[in-house]
Structure 1
Amino acid sequence: MNHPFSLAHLTALECAPPELTYLAAQAGYDFVSIRPIYMGLPNEPNYDLANNKAMFKETKLALQQTGLSVYDIELARINDDIDPLIYEPAFEVAAELGAKHVLSSIWTDDTELGREKFAQLCDIARPYGLTINLESVPIASVRTLKGAIHVLEDVKRENVGLMIDAHHFHRAHDCVDDIKSIPKEWLHYFHLCDAQKEIPTSKEEMTRILREERLYIGEGGLPLKGMLTCLPDDMVFSLEMPNRQRTKELGTFEYIKQCLASAKTFIEKGNTYAVKK
Structure 2
Amino acid sequence: MQRRYSLAHLTLLSLDPPAMIRAAAQAGYDACGLRLLPFTPGGIAYDLMGKPGQLRETLALMHDTGVRVEDIEIIRLGASFEVDACLPFLETGARLGARNILVSGEDADPARLTDSFARLCEAARPHGLTVDLEFMPWLAVNSLQAARRIVETAGQDNGGVLIDPLHFTRSASSLDQLADLPRPMIHYAQICDAPAEAPATIDELTRASRSARLAPGEGGIDLKAIFMRLPHDIPISIEIPNDEQSTRLGPQAWIRHCLEASKRFFSA
Give the TM interval when normalised to the shorter protein. over 0.9
Deviations 1:152-205 (A, max 9, x none): 110101111111001000000311121211111111110100011111121100
> Quick one: which amino acid aligns to residue 212 of structure 2?
E
Deviations 1:45-102 (A, max 9, x none): 3301000112111111110110111111011110012312211111101101111111
Matches within 5 A, 1:239-258: 239-258=238-257
| Contact 1:71-1:101 at 8 Å conserved across structures | yes
Aligned to 1:171: 170
Aligned to 1:84: 83
| Most deviating of 81-90 and 242-251 | 81-90
Matches within 5 A, 1:22-37: 22-37=22-37
Matches within 5 A, 1:7-18: 7-18=7-18
Deviations 1:129-150 (A, max 9, x none): 1111111111110000011111
| Contact 2:132-2:162 at 8 Å conserved across structures | yes
**Between Structure 1 and Structure 2, how many residues are aligned?**
268
| Contact 2:81-2:116 at 8 Å conserved across structures | no
| Contact 2:69-2:98 at 8 Å conserved across structures | yes
Deviation at 1:263, TM superposition (A): 0.7
> Quick one: which amino acid aligns to residue 192 of structure 1?
I
Using a 3 Å threshold, how does the CA distance of structure 1 residues 137 and 254 change in structure 2: closer, same or farther? same
TM-score by length of 2: 0.97
Aligned with 1:103: secondary structure?
A: strand
Aligned with 1:132: secondary structure?
A: strand
Aligned to 2:191: 192
> Quick one: which amino acid aligns to residue 239 of structure 2?
E
Matches within 5 A, 1:67-216: 67-216=66-215
Whole-Å Cα distance in 2 between the matches of residues 233 and 130 of structure 1? 21
Deviations 1:189-240 (A, max 9, x none): 1010001111112110000000000001011111211011111121211000
Task: Work out the percentage of aligned pairs sharing the same amino acid.
Answer: 37
Whole-Å Cα distance in 2 between the matches of residues 82 and 183 of structure 1? 27
Aligned to 2:51: 52
Whole-Å Cα distance in 2 between the matches of residues 86 and 39 of structure 1? 16
Aligned with 2:32: secondary structure?
A: strand
Structure 1: tracts of 5 or more residues without a match:
270-277
Deviation at 1:40, TM superposition (A): 4.9
> Quick one: which amino acid aligns to residue 235 of structure 2?
V
> Quick one: which amino acid aligns to residue 33 of structure 2?
S
Aligned to 2:20: 20
Runs of 4+ in 1 over 3 A off after TM superposition: 38-42
Aligned with 1:162: secondary structure?
A: strand
| Contact 1:77-1:104 at 8 Å conserved across structures | yes
Deviation at 1:39, TM superposition (A): 4.4
TM-score by length of 1: 0.94
Deviations 1:78-129 (A, max 9, x none): 0012312211111101101111111111101111111111111111111111
Deviation at 1:41, TM superposition (A): 3.8
Whole-Å Cα distance in 2 between the matches of residues 230 and 46 of structure 1? 32
Let me know the Cα RMSD of the aligned residues.
1.2
Whole-Å Cα distance in 2 between the matches of residues 225 and 249 of structure 1? 28
Aligned with 1:47: secondary structure?
A: coil
Aligned to 1:38: 38
Aligned with 1:50: secondary structure?
A: helix
| Contact 1:78-1:84 at 8 Å conserved across structures | no
Structure 2: tracts of 5 or more residues without a match:
none
Aligned with 1:140: secondary structure?
A: coil
| Most deviating of 253-262 and 51-60 | 51-60
Aligned with 2:163: secondary structure?
A: strand
Aligned to 1:222: 221
